[in-house]
Structure 1
Amino acid sequence: MSDAALNRAERAELERLRAQVAQGKGRRGLRWTGSAVLLVLAAVVIVLAGVTVFARNQVLNTDRFVDSVEPLYQDAEVRAAVAARINGAVDEAIDVDALVAEAIDAVQTRGGPEVLDRLAVPLASGIDSFVDKQINAVVYSDQFTELWREATLRAHTAFVSLLRGEGGGPLELRGEDLVLDLGPVVERVKDRMVEAGFALAERIPAVSVTFTIAQSETFAKLRTAAALLDAAAWILPVAGLALLAAGIATAPDRRRGLLIGALCVAGGMLLLSAGLTIGRSAYLAGLGDSVQSQQAAVNVFDTVTRFLKGGAETMTVLALIVALACWLIGPGKAPSAVRRLGAGARNAAARGLAGSGVTFGGFGLAVHRHRRGIEVALAVAGLLWIVLWRHPGVSGVVTVAIVVALLALVVELIGRAAVEAGRGADTPAPRSA
C-alpha cells in the first residue's frame, strides 16, 4: 500500500512511527559515540596505569626492585663492567709504578745492582696482573652476588629515603646521575689481596667507588613526584576499569561494546610495547662516554623493563582472547558456523556418553539448567587467577584460557549427556515382530 492510499489518521500514525524510529536511531548513534569515547579513554588510562604501577614498583617498592634487577647479578657483561670500574679505582689508589720504583731505589741504596732498574716494567706488570686476578676472583664469585644484592638493597632503601627527604646512604643523586657506592666490594678485594700476601694492598684507603645506575634530568624532580606516583598507581587502575565498565554499559549492544573495549586495550598495549622498543633505541643512542660497557647498559635496560614489557604482552593476549570470545558468541555468519560445528561435536560426544550409560542423572540436569551461570563463574575465576598470578606472562594467560575453555566444555558435556539420556528414556521402544 502506497502512502497516497492512507487516510489522514493513518498518515499521521505513520509519520509518528517514522519519527520514533528516527529518534531511536539518533539516540543509538549518540550512545555508540559516547561508548566509543569512553572505551578509548579506558584503554589510554589502562596503559598509563600499567606504566605507573611499574614505575611505582621500581621507585618505591624495594622488594620488587630487587627482584627485577636480580638477573643482573649473574650477567657476565655487567660483572665485567663492575670489574673494570673497581680496577680503575684500585689503580688510582695505588700507583704501582711509583711503588716499584720506590722499592728498587730502597734495594739499590743498600747496595743492590743497577740492573734492577730493568725489572721495573715486568714487576709493575706482574702486580697489575695480580690485582686483576684478585678483582676477578671476587667479582666472579658467589660472594659477589650477595655483596651486589646487599648493595642494591641498601641503595634502593636509601633511594626511597632520598625521595622522601631523608638521608642518602650508598645511593646518591649527583646532578643527573644516580650512582651506587661499591665501597664494600673494594674492601673485599683489599682484604683478599692482603690474605694472598700482597701487604701493599693495606695502603688502599677507604674509598668511595661509584657505579652509575642511570642518567636522567628528571631525577632532581623525583622527590616531588614520588607522592603523586604513589597515589596514581592506585587511582589509575580503578579509573581505567571504571571507564571500561561505563563504556560497555553505555553501548547499545554490550557484547559489541566489550569487543570494542577489548580491542582498544589490545591496541593500547601494542603501542606500549612499540614505545618500549623505541625507548630502548633512544636510551642506547643517548649513552655517554662515561658508560663502562654498552652491552652491560643494554642488559640493564632489558632486565629492568622486562616486567613492563611482559605485562604489556600479557594484557594484549588477554584482551585478544576476550575479543575472540565476544566474536564467537556474536550473530555473524562465521561465528554462527563455528558455534554450529562445536555444538554438533558436543552433541555427538554427549550422545556417545549417554549411549555408554554415563548420564550423570539429576546432577547433570541441574548442571544443564545452570550451565550459563557456571560458565560465567568459570570465566570470572579465570580472570581472578590471572590477576592473583604475580607474573603469568603470555603462556600463563593462554594456559588459563585453555583450562577455562576445557572446564566449560566439561560442563556442556555433563548437561547435554543428561538431556540426551532423558530423550532416550522418553523414546518408545520399537515393537517386536
Structure 2
Amino acid sequence: MRAAAAVRSECRAAAATAGRAPTREPTMTDAALNRAERKELERLRARAAGRKGRGARWTGAVVLLVLAAITGVLATATVFARNEVLNTDRFVANMEPLYRDEEIRGAVAARVSGAITGALDVEALVAEAVDAVQTKGGPEVLDRLAAPLASGVNSFIDDQVQAVVHSDQFTELWRQANRTAHTSLVRLLTGDGDGALSLDGNDLVLDLGPVLDAAKARLVAAGFDLAARLPELSVTFTVATSESFPKLQVAAALLNAAAWVLPIAALALLAAGVAIAPSRRRGLGLGALFLAVGMLLLWGAVSIGRSAYLAGLGDAVQSPTAAANLYTALTRFLIGGAQTIAVLALIVALACWLLGPGAAATAVRRLALGARDGLARLLAGAGLGFGAFGAFVFRSRRPIEFAAVAAGLLWLVLWRHPGVSGVLTVALVVALFIAVVEVVGRASQDARAAA
C-alpha cells in the first residue's frame, strides 16, 4: 500500500543519510495521506490500542479469577465447618459410624472401666473382706489371695463394660451421647450454657454418664452388688486439647457470618472475572482450573492437618489411634466436598476447551459431529424421523440443552453428598441427553430432506 511504501521510503532515506550531517528532509505527516491511507492508519492504531487494552483486561480477569478460587476454597471449608459445628443433625450423622470403630470402643471401655474400678477401690474392698474372714477364724493364707481376687474383680468389671460397649445398646448410647454433647457444644458456642460437652481449661471433654449408667446396671444384673454402691460419678472423655478453645464463642459467631458471605463473594468474583475477560469462554475455563487447583490444595491441607493434629495431642487423650479415626470421620465430608468441586470444575474447564478453536478441540468436535450425523442418517434411513416432535427438538435444541445443563447443576446442588462418582454420573447423564437431542434433531432434518 502507498502509506506503507511511503514509510519504507522514509526509513531507507534515513538509513542512507546516517552518518552525514543532518539536513532538513521532508517528512510524511497525516496531512500527506489520502482518505484510504488515513483509514488504514487509524485501523492499525486502533488495533495497537486494542492489544494494550486486551492485555490489561486479561490481567484484571486473572487476578479476579485467582481471588475467586481462593475465596471458593475458604467458602468450602467455612460452610463445612459451620455445618459440622453448629448443625447437630449433621454432626450426629457424621459421628454415628464411629460406634463400629474398635479403637473408639476400646478407648471408651477403658475410660469407663477405669472410672468404675477407681470409684469402688477394689483392692481396699478385697482387703476389707479378707480381714473380716480372718477375724472370724479364717486362715492367714487368705492374705495371699487378696491380689488375685482384686485382679479377678477388675477383670470381671472390664468384661462387663466391654460387653456393654460391644452390644447393640452401645449404638443408641453413642448416638444419644453425641447428640447431647453436640447440643451442649452449640449452647457452649452461642453462650447459652454447657452440658454433656464442655470446656475444662484447654480440654474439650465429653460426658460418658449414659455409658457408665448402662455398665453399672449390667454389673448389678450380673450379681455384682457392689456396683450398686457406686456414687454419682462424672466420667468425662477428653476429645481434644487446644489453647484456642477459650476463644471458640467469638470464632463461632464469625464462622456463622462467613459461611454466608464467602460463597456469595466467590461467585461474584468469578462472574466479574469472566465478564471482563476478552474471551469469556477462556475466562470461565481459567476460573474453573484455578478453582480445581485450589480444591486439590485444600485436600492436601486437610491431610497435612491430620499429622499436625496428632502431633499436638496432649496426655489427656487416652488413645491416639481413636483420635486419628475421629479426625478422619470429622473431615471426610470436607475432603469429599473438595474432591467433588474439583472434579466439577475440571469438567467445566474441559467443556470450555472443547468449545475452543484449538486444533485438538476442533478435531474432537468434528469426530463427535461425524458420529452424530452418521447415526442420524441411519435413523432417518430406517424411517425414524420423529415427525413433528423431531422438528420441535431441532428448532429448540439449544434451549433444551441449556436446560439440561441447568438441571444437572440443580441436581448436584440438591444432592447432599454427591461425591466424585455422583458428579461423573450427572455429567454423563447430561452429556448423553444432549447427544440424544442432537441425534433426534438431525435425524428429523435428514428425514425431511429425503422426503
The C-alpha deviation readout for 1:199-252, integer Å capped at 9, x for no partner, is 111222111111112222221111112222111111111111111111111111
User: Does 1:230 pair with 2:256?
Assistant: yes
2:83 is matched with: 57
SS of the counterpart of 1:169? coil
Residue correspondence of structure 1 range 381-396 to structure 2 within 5 A: 381-396=407-422
Residue correspondence of structure 1 range 219-258 to structure 2 within 5 A: 219-258=245-284
Deviation at 1:151, TM superposition (A): 1.1
2:26 is matched with: none
Contact 2:240–2:317 at 8 Å: present in 1 too?
no
1:164 is matched with: 190
SS of the counterpart of 1:298? helix
1:328 is matched with: 354
User: Does 1:274 pair with 2:300?
Assistant: yes
Contact 1:176–1:219 at 8 Å: present in 2 too?
yes
2:130 is matched with: 104
The C-alpha deviation readout for 1:140-186, integer Å capped at 9, x for no partner, is 11111111211111111111111121221111111211100112211
Alignment partners' CA distance in 1, 2:5 and 2:340: 62
1:283 is matched with: 309
1:380 is matched with: 406
Deviation at 1:13, TM superposition (A): 3.4
Contact 1:187–1:206 at 8 Å: present in 2 too?
no
Contact 1:96–1:124 at 8 Å: present in 2 too?
yes
Instruction: Select 2:178's aligned residue among 141, 147, 152.
Output: 152
2:11 is matched with: none
Alignment partners' CA distance in 1, 2:52 and 2:338: 37
229-238 or 281-290, larger mean C-alpha shift: 281-290
Contact 2:92–2:179 at 8 Å: present in 1 too?
yes
Alignment root-mean-square deviation, CA: 1.3
1:428 is matched with: none
1:38 is matched with: 64
1:141 is matched with: 167
Alignment partners' CA distance in 2, 1:176 and 1:37: 41
Deviation at 1:11, TM superposition (A): 4.5
TM-score (norm 2): 0.92
Contact 1:183–1:206 at 8 Å: present in 2 too?
no
SS of the counterpart of 1:213? strand
Deviation at 1:283, TM superposition (A): 1.1
Deviation at 1:91, TM superposition (A): 2.0
Residue correspondence of structure 1 range 24-35 to structure 2 within 5 A: 24-35=50-61
Contact 2:96–2:174 at 8 Å: present in 1 too?
no
The C-alpha deviation readout for 1:327-370, integer Å capped at 9, x for no partner, is 11111000110111111111111111011111011221221122
Alignment partners' CA distance in 1, 2:327 and 2:251: 22
220-229 or 98-107, larger mean C-alpha shift: 220-229
Contact 1:347–1:416 at 8 Å: present in 2 too?
yes
Alignment partners' CA distance in 1, 2:179 and 2:382: 63
Residue correspondence of structure 1 range 312-323 to structure 2 within 5 A: 312-323=338-349
Contact 1:272–1:312 at 8 Å: present in 2 too?
yes
Alignment partners' CA distance in 1, 2:252 and 2:322: 28
Alignment partners' CA distance in 1, 2:243 and 2:265: 30
SS of the counterpart of 1:173? strand
User: Does 1:306 pair with 2:332?
Assistant: yes
Residue correspondence of structure 1 range 197-216 to structure 2 within 5 A: 197-216=223-242
**What amino acid maps onto 2:257 in structure 1?**
A
Alignment partners' CA distance in 2, 1:12 and 1:342: 47
Contact 2:61–2:276 at 8 Å: present in 1 too?
yes
Deviation at 1:121, TM superposition (A): 2.1
User: Does 1:8 pair with 2:33?
Assistant: yes
Alignment partners' CA distance in 2, 1:166 and 1:363: 62
TM-score (norm 1): 0.96
Identical pairs, percent: 64
Alignment partners' CA distance in 2, 1:306 and 1:215: 21
SS of the counterpart of 2:141? helix
Alignment partners' CA distance in 2, 1:219 and 1:286: 14
**What amino acid maps onto 2:204 in structure 1?**
L
1:430 is matched with: none
User: Does 1:87 pair with 2:88?
Assistant: no
User: Does 1:115 pair with 2:141?
Assistant: yes
**What amino acid maps onto 2:121 in structure 1?**
D
SS of the counterpart of 1:114? coil
The C-alpha deviation readout for 1:70-107, integer Å capped at 9, x for no partner, is 11121111000111111111121121111111001101
User: Does 1:48 pair with 2:103?
Assistant: no
Larger Rg: 2
1:431 is matched with: none
SS of the counterpart of 1:252? coil
Deviation at 1:271, TM superposition (A): 0.6
The C-alpha deviation readout for 1:268-324, integer Å capped at 9, x for no partner, is 101101101111111112222322112111110000000000000000100001111
